[in-house]
Amino acid sequence: MELGKDKIDSVQEMLKNGTKSEKTAALKTLSDYLSSNSGSSTLQEAVSSQEFLTLLEGILTGTDAEEQLLATAVVTNMAAGGSSELCEAALNTAPHLIQFLDSQNLALVDQSAWALGNIAAEGPTFRDRLKDNGVLAPLIKLLDSKDMNLVQTACFALSNMARGEGANLDDLVKAGLIRPLLHHLRVDTEPKVISEAAWVVVYLTSGPESISTQLLEHRLIPLLVAPLKDFLDQKALAIPLVRALGNIASGPDNNTSELIHEPGFLPAMLRFIQSDCRPVKKESLWLMSNITAEHAGTDLIKVIEAGFIPVLSQIATHQNFDIRKEAAYSLINLASHGPDYAKVLPHRELLPGFLDFMRTKDTELINLGLRYVQLLLNSGIQDAPALLSEMNGVDALEAVILANDDRDQHRLASLLMDTYFGENNHGSRVPTPIPGTPESHSGNPHALNETFPPQYLKRASMSAI
C-alpha cells in the first residue's frame, strides 16, 4: 500500500524539530508505517535517504534511552521490510546496534539483537558486513544472560548469522559459540528458547562435518533427544530439533547408529511421524529416511521392533503424495538391506501405492515406484511377479516404458519387464518364475542386482538455505 508523502514528511519534520513527546510519537508512527506499509516506494525512498539516516543516527547516539529504544525498533522494522534498500539503510546503523549489546538496558539490548538478526537474514553480504563490524563476540556473550527472552533473541540472531551458503561457520565456532549454546539445550526448560537454540544447531550441523563432529563430541545427540518428549504437542516449535537430528543422521553411519541406540529416540520419532502438524510430520519422515539408510543394517532391527513398519506403511498409502513420498524412502531403504528385510514389508498393502507413483509425471515418484518394484521382485518372494500382475503392475511398467523420456527409468522398467514377465501365445505379458528358483529359465539369477546394486537413499540436509 502506497503511503502519502505528506504523512512521511510530517514524521520526518517531528523527528527533526519536534519536542520529546513529538519525537517519540513520530518514531512509533514510523515503526507502524514500516510494519504495515513496507512496500510503499515513497516510504522506502524517504527512510533510505541520507537525510533520514542522519536523523536516526543522531537519536541512536543521543542520551535519551526511550528514543534510542524506539529508534532501534524502527531499524528492526526497516530490516524486516523485505526491501534490500531498506535493509542496506538499516545496516548503516549496525555499529550503534552492536555497541548497544553491551548496554545495561535489557530492552535496548534485546531490540538491538533482534534488529541485527533481521539484517543478517537478508543475505551473505549483510552477514559479512556484520562480522566485519564485530557482531559475533557480543552476540554470543548474550547467551550468558539469565534473561531467557534475551537468550531467545540472541539465538535468533545467531541462527541468521549461521544460515546459508558462505556463512563461514568456523568463525562462529572460533568465537566460542558451542559451549554456551549447548548449555541452554542442557538446562533450559522453556520450549521457545530450546527451539530457537536448536535452530542455531540446525545451521551448524548442515555445515562442514568437522563442526558436526565437535558438536557430537560435546554429546549433542542426548541434548537434542531429551526434550523431544516435551515437544510432541508443541507443533512447529519441534521442527528445529527434528531437523538437527536429521542433519546428524544424514552424516556417517556411526551417527545413525548412535541415534538408534539413544534412549527415547525411536519412541519419540514413532509419535512424531504421526503428528497432526504437517511440517513436523514431513521433517520427521525425512529424518527416518536417513535413519533407515544406514549401510550396516543390523541396527535397523531396532527400528522394525519399535513398530515403524505398520505406521510407515499406512502413511505411504493414505496421505498426500509429498508425505507418502517421505514414508516411501524409509520403506525402500529398509527393503534395500536384503531379502530378509524386504519380506517383512506388507507388500499387498504397499504395492498399489507404489504403482500409483509410477503412473505420475513426477520423476522422483517414478524412481521410488520402480525401485520398490525392483526390490519386491528381487526379494525371493515366490508369488511376487504374480502379485504385481494381479495389481496391474505390468501396465504401470509399460506406462513408464512408453511414456517416459528418462533413459534410466526406461531401462530399469524394460529390464524388470523382460526378466520377470514373458509373453504368452496371445502376446500378453504374464509372470515368469523368479530367476534362481528351480523352475526358472536359464540365466544369471543375480544379473538384475548387479545391474542395479542396492542403494540406500540417504538425503543430505534440507537446511543450507
* 368 falls within a domain: yes
* 162 falls within a domain: no
Per DSSP, the three-state class of 421 is: strand
The closest alpha carbon to 264, from 226, 301, 306, belongs to: 226
Residue 263 C-alpha cell reads as: 534412549
How many domains does the structure of the chain reveal?
Answer: 1
Angle at 183 between CA 180 and CA 188, to 5 degrees: 125
Q: What is the CATH number of the domain that holds 326?
A: 1.25.10.10
Give the pLDDT mean for 277-306: 92
pLDDT value, residue 445: 36
What is the percent of the chain where pLDDT is above 90?
Answer: 75
* 380 falls within a domain: yes
CA distance 18 to 9: 13
- Tell me the HSE value of 367 on the side-chain side, using a 13 A CA sphere: 11
Q: Which amino acid, residue 156?
A: F
The closest alpha carbon to 367, from 459, 291, 247, belongs to: 459
- Alpha carbon of residue 439 to chain centroid: 49
CB 268 within 8 Å of CB 232? yes
Pairing of strands 421-423, 429-431: antiparallel
Give the pLDDT mean for 121-138: 96
* 119 falls within a domain: no
Name the more confident of 220 and 378. 220
List the domain range (segments joined by +) for residue 460.
307-465
- Residue 367 CA: distances (Å) to CA of 349, 356, 364, 397: 19, 12, 5, 12
List % helix, strand, coil for the chain (3-state, nearest 5).
Answer: 70, 0, 30
* 421 falls within a domain: yes
Residue 143 C-alpha cell reads as: 547467551
pLDDT value, residue 436: 44
Beta bridge partners of 214: none
CA distance 329 to 459: 10
Beta bridge partners of 430: 422
List, for residues 176-219, the tens digit of each pLDDT value: 999 999 999 999 999 999 999 999 999 999 999 999 999 999 99
CB 35 within 8 Å of CB 23? no
* 435 falls within a domain: yes
Give the CA-trace dihedral at 9, 11, 16, 19, to 10 degrees.
140
Q: For residue 290, what are the contacts with CB-CB under 8 A and spacing of at least 6?
A: 246, 249, 250, 256, 458, 459
pLDDT category at 457 given cuts 50, 70, 90 is: low
CA distance 458 to 452: 17
